[in-house]
Amino acid sequence: MPNRLEAEPVPRRDFLGLAGLWTAGVAILGSLLGMLRLPNPRVLPEQSSRFSIGHPEEFAAGSKRILPGRNVEVVSTEQGIAAVSLVCTHLGCIVAPTPEGYSCPCHGSRFGLAGEVRGGPAPRGLPWLELSRAPDGSLVVDGKREVPPHTYFRG
């Protein structure tokens, strides 16, 4: 005689039915999550973030040059050479050089000569990019690797 205070056991049919329902639910949810992995690319379809900009001698001290199609300005000073990204840190527009530094056409961010924030909505200064030397002696900029501002590359 079962105790009346004990919970009634789940009938076998109900148990199997519920188990089937939950299995189906978990399977559908799992498949959906698995399918959502597809739109997240594992390989980015773009050119390498590292690119050669030529030999250091081509950049005379005191000169500035914007590399066409790369949105990077190469600044050459007595202390060495640096590469500054021209992509605004606010919403990704391309900043234009001005006598005081850089200004962004989209939302009016202004940067100083070293890319530091002078005004507008930009949350941080323009990134300085890592420079290195390739085996053939030319300079290589890595658009994905930042260095602290005022880090100049010397021979």
Asked whether 111 and 100 are in contact (CB, 8 A), the reply is no
Shorter beta-carbon distance to other proteins: residue 93 or 140: 93
The Cα–Cα gap between 95 and 106 comes to 9
What the block records as the tokens of 135 is 């085996």
The Cα–Cα gap between 155 and 72 comes to 20
Query: In the 8-state DSSP scheme, what is residue 59?
Result: S
Q: How far is the CB of 109 from other proteins (least distance, A)?
A: 9
Region from 11-19, 23-31, 42-50, 73-81 binding other proteins, contact rule CB under 8 A: 42-50
Q: Return the residue of 9, 62, 123, 155 that touches other proteins, per CB under 8 A.
A: 123
Q: Return the residue of 11, 45, 62, 99 that touches other proteins, per CB under 8 A.
A: 45
Q: How far is the CB of 87 from other proteins (least distance, A)?
A: 9
The Cα–Cα gap between 70 and 148 comes to 20
Q: Return the residue of 2, 9, 34, 39 that touches other proteins, per CB under 8 A.
A: 39
3-state SS assignment for residue 119? strand
Site string for other proteins, 62-101 (x = CB under 8 A): ------xx-x------------------xxxxx-------
Number of residues that bind other proteins (CB under 8 A): 26
Helix (H) or strand (E) holding 66: strand 64-67
What the block records as the tokens of 25 is 């639910």
Q: Return the residue of 50, 56, 58, 106 that touches other proteins, per CB under 8 A.
A: 106
Query: In the 8-state DSSP scheme, what is residue 56?
Result: G
Binding site for other proteins (CB under 8 A): 39-41, 44-46, 68-69, 71, 90-94, 103-108, 117, 119-121, 123-124
